[in-house]
Copies of this chain bind each other. A is one copy, B any other.
């Protein structure tokens, strides 16, 4: 029988370089605390639940790391003791199936935590690749263990992160893999608008990435994007970024349901 594996011909996305991560170094505790306190995403992020006192007790250095598109924060099966919080930009989590297909299984944006499995001593379950210019902070496992043993709320916050990832995964499966390509694309656009930048401008994946998310070829992705653009749902497309007409998008999705 013939194999119709999507993306088989392009075994890898381009720019797949791993970025060296600095080894955590000792730092004055209050210095780190001040940095975290001032962090713009703290309210949405893992440390949002921590009191100022708890923050002040942080005795570990948290690195701030920048990635450009295509660079990896970590890669699947690597063992490490680092957990990441996305401060800006969009990161994709992708896996290679037994059959060799590369599929994107989730997107992480501002405030999302990735690589939680490192906290359990497990290897990473997926590649984490920057889709845009990305800023992450790098937390050593020991820090999180420390905080959660000291602070009961924090353990809860961790569990909520896991549950959130699980919800995302299930939603991805039910929304982005069923129905015709055109509708899947609409739902993808809706999801991208969650990770949107300021002012309704969203990041547009490459056709190849779209294909790996929706399980279609990049040719089909291209055709469908054109048609979505023709429908006036996607406008003012400027390279990697675009604006979308939310009202029209929602209406198109509603029509699909009826």
**Residues on A facing B (Cβ under 8 Å):** 1-6, 93, 95-101, 103, 105-106, 116-117, 119-120, 122, 125-126, 148-149, 152, 155-156, 158-160, 162-163, 165-167, 169-175, 177-180, 182-183, 187, 215, 253, 256-257
Contact = CB atoms under 8 A, between A and B. Distances in A.
A3 B177 contact: no
Contact of A163 (B6, B116, B167, B174): B116
Number of copies: 2
Given A105-B173, A169-B169, A179-B99, A163 B117 contact: yes
A156 B145 CA distance: 10
26 contacts: A3-B180, A3-B183, A4-B179, A4-B180, A5-B178, A6-B179, A95-B174, A97-B178, A97-B179, A99-B179, A101-B174, A103-B173, A103-B177, A105-B173, A105-B174, A106-B170, A117-B163, A125-B166, A126-B170, A149-B152, A158-B159, A159-B162, A166-B166, A169-B170, A169-B173, A172-B173
Interface centre among A4, A159, A182, A215 (most CB of B within 10 A): A159
Given A97-B175, A155-B155, 8 more contacts: A98-B187, A98-B257, A101-B178, A103-B173, A103-B174, A106-B170, A126-B170, A177-B215
